[in-house]
Amino acid sequence: MIRILATGGTIAGTADAASGGKRYKAAALPVDQLLGHMAGLDGLSVDAEQVLSLDSKDMRPADWLVLLAATRRALRDPGVSGVVILHGTDTMEESAYFLHLTLPLGKPVILTGAMRPADHPAADGPANVHAALALAATPGQGQHGVQVCMNRQAFAARQVLKARSSGLDAFDSLPGQPGAIPSAGRFAALQVDALPDVFVLPGYAGAPPELIDACVAAGARGLVLALSGHGSVPTAWEAALTRAQASGVAILRASRCAGPVIRNANADDDGRGWLTAGDLPPAKARIALMLALAAGWSRQEMIDGLAQL
């Protein structure tokens, strides 16, 4: 049996008639009603659980922990052979990567969603659900880590990104470690009630260093710097970063380009005590740093391991 875990999103959305279909309300339909509208599910061995009901733009780290707990419960069920998660597309890549790092290899876990709401005349949700169920039922898929299935394509959680804001082909893969299997389940034993605050700080022409001080004042335990080029730190930021580190904040250089950010290239990372993201994009580097901090990794463990997650 495949268990479907629903979290809301566009796939469960309905159009706003007053807008002529240009706007819609995400997470409007409960999973039983949503699946009841999909042809071809009769006779399949599936059950469903409504875990969350939200627009994925509102997904928070606390929600990841709720989803993780539900997925772990499903995977422990001997009658469940795989899990399909229905999720909004805006932050699907983040949830997929978080689950990739926190779930063990074994049974397949596939995330899917939709670019069009459920009542769209050409809704893509049903086809995506069928493809995800087929992928979850394919022998051996559990050894590939968490995957995203959209538009009849499968993507590794580490590489997947929503590359376009619209269109059925919105999802793509970043270059990087093929499959990224070594990182799967790296934090599978982690049990926490909350995740540490890690903020992503964009670098841009003239970005003021006061942004760094504000993040520290807000309680950040880590800062991911989404910088230009090869993770180039603005000179004007250096003093503020030193102050942040003195308060115990971990600093990680990432790039707003498609990476990689190589340690000690373009910056004295060893001398300054900075971490580097490798080919992880900023949003995923944030997740890796959050989990490393939650697991109590030492600075040396972060230096050696973060970019490999």
The per-residue pLDDT for range 97-147, each reduced to its tens digit, is 999 999 999 999 999 999 999 999 999 999 999 999 999 999 999 999 999
157 found inside a domain: yes
DSSP assigned state of 232: B
188 found inside a domain: no
**Single-letter amino acid code for the residue at 165:** S
Q: How many helices (H) and strands (E) does the chain have?
A: 9, 14
Enumerate the β-bridge partners of residue 155.
148
Q: Which residues contact 43 (CB under 8 A, 6 or more apart)?
A: none
Domain residues for the domain of 304 are 198-308
Predicted confidence band of residue 3 (pLDDT cuts 50, 70, 90):
very high
What are the catalytic residues?
A: 10, 89
Is the domain of 239 the same as that of 160? Answer: no
Asked if the model's pLDDT at residue 250 lies above 50, the reply is yes
Task: Give the Cα-Cα-Cα angle 217, 223, 229 (nearest 5 degrees).
Answer: 135
Task: Flag whether 56 is marked binding.
Answer: yes
CA distance 33 to 31: 5
pLDDT of residue 183: 82
Specify the pairing of strand 275-276 against strand 250-255.
parallel
Which residue stretches of the chain are H helix? 31-36, 61-76, 92-102, 125-136, 210-217, 238-246, 269-272, 282-294, 299-305
* Nearest alpha-carbon partner for 99 in 14, 34, 188, 37: 188
CATH of the domain at 88: 3.40.50.1170
Q: Are 241 and 219 in contact (CB under 8 A)?
A: no
257 found inside a domain: yes
pLDDT of residue 32: 96
Q: Which residues contact 15 (CB under 8 A, 6 or more apart)?
A: 21, 23, 24, 117, 119, 120
pLDDT of residue 179: 46
Is the domain of 65 the same as that of 135? Answer: yes
CA 279 to chain centre: 15
- Percent of the chain having pLDDT more than 90? 89
Listed residues 115, 139, 173: the one ending a domain: 173
Task: Flag whether 242 is marked binding.
Answer: no
Is the domain of 32 the same as that of 69? Answer: yes
Is the domain of 226 the same as that of 124? Answer: no
Is the domain of 45 the same as that of 163? Answer: yes
Task: Flag whether 58 is marked binding.
Answer: no
CATH of the domain at 303: 3.40.50.40
Using CA atoms, how far residue 153 sits from 9, 68, 121, in Å, is 19, 24, 22
pLDDT of residue 16: 78
pLDDT of residue 180: 47
78 found inside a domain: yes
Query: Average pLDDT of the chain?
Result: 94
Is the domain of 39 the same as that of 149? Answer: yes
The larger pLDDT score, comparing residue 151 to residue 22, is at: 151
Asked if the model's pLDDT at residue 64 lies above 70, the reply is yes
pLDDT digits (tens, 9 = 90+) for 232-249: 999 999 999 999 999 999
Q: Are 229 and 235 in contact (CB under 8 A)?
A: no
pTM over 0.75: yes
Is the domain of 153 the same as that of 292? Answer: no
Number of independent structural domains in the chain: 2
Is the domain of 111 the same as that of 246? Answer: no
The 10 Å Cβ neighbour count of residue 75 is 19
Is the domain of 158 the same as that of 279? Answer: no
185 found inside a domain: no
The 10 Å Cβ neighbour count of residue 190 is 14
pLDDT of residue 176: 60
The larger pLDDT score, comparing residue 273 to residue 20, is at: 273
pLDDT digits (tens, 9 = 90+) for 175-205: 765 444 568 899 999 999 999 999 999 999 9
Listed residues 173, 207, 231: the one ending a domain: 173
- Percent of the chain having pLDDT more than 70? 96
Is the domain of 158 the same as that of 204? Answer: no
Is the domain of 164 the same as that of 235? Answer: no
